[in-house]
């Protein structure tokens, strides 16, 4: 079992910083604005993309496939009430001389063995708690 630890801290009214293992990502936290960085939904899509591309590298190597380039293009639809992503579509674009059947198998395995893909597919409900620190 592997444990993850990420801290996200508001910096001002527009952005927050996510930190883990000495790395930082600037995130937008102001509704209706995008100047400060990725918003939460875009961050989720980026995490999904990173998950799939991590597996393209790892599983592609295990399958001894030549992958010259890989990218994912996402489109998502958000409902307003309640606010939620109600549809996520993506295109995994692989540049490779390998047979299409092998690349289709790679795609299936990348989704099947992805931490984030499985979390989204299985609809994990996060468990949270409120902690209050007094000011002054």
33 and 58 co-located in one domain: no
Mean pLDDT of 114-134: 94
85 and 19 co-located in one domain: no
Average pLDDT score over the chain: 95
**Among the listed ranges 29-38, 39-48, 76-85, which one has the minimum average pLDDT value?**
29-38
Whole-number Å distance between alpha carbons of 41 and 136: 34
64 with 71: CB under 8 angstroms?
A: no
pTM greater than 0.85 = yes
Q: What percent of the chain has pLDDT over 90?
A: 93
62 and 92 co-located in one domain: yes
Mean pLDDT of 35-41: 89
97 with 66: CB under 8 angstroms?
A: yes
Task: Tell me whether residue 99 is in a domain.
Answer: yes
> H-type helices in the chain, by residue range?
40-62, 100-112, 115-122
* Sign of the C-alpha dihedral computed for residues 43, 49, 53 and 59 taken in this order: positive
Which residues span the domain enclosing 27? 1-38
All residues at 6 or more sequence positions from 86 whose CB lies less than 8 Å from its CB, including other chains: 77, 78, 79
Would you place residue 38 in the very low, low, confident or very high pLDDT band (cuts 50, 70, 90)? very high
Task: Tell me whether residue 9 is in a domain.
Answer: yes
Number of domains in the chain: 2
Task: Tell me whether residue 133 is in a domain.
Answer: no
Cis peptide before 25 (omega within 30 of 0): no
Q: What is the pLDDT of residue 19?
A: 98
């Amino acid at each position: 079992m592997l444990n993850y630890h990420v801290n996200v801290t508001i910096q001002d009214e527009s952005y927050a910083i996510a930190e883990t293992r000495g790395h930082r990502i600037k995130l937008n936290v102001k509704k209706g604005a995008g100047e400060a960085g990725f918003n939460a939904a875009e961050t989720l899509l980026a995490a999904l993309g990173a998950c799939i591309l991590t597996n393209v590298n790892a599983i592609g190597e295990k399958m001894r496939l030549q992958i010259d380039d890989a990218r994912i293009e996402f489109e998502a639809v958000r409902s307003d009430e309640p606010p939620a992503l109600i549809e996520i579509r993506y295109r995994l674009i692989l540049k490779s001389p390998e047979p299409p059947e092998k690349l289709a198998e790679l795609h299936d395995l990348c989704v099947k063995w992805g931490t984030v893909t499985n979390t989204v597919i299985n609809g994990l409900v996060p468990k949270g708690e409120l902690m209050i620190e007094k000011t002054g």
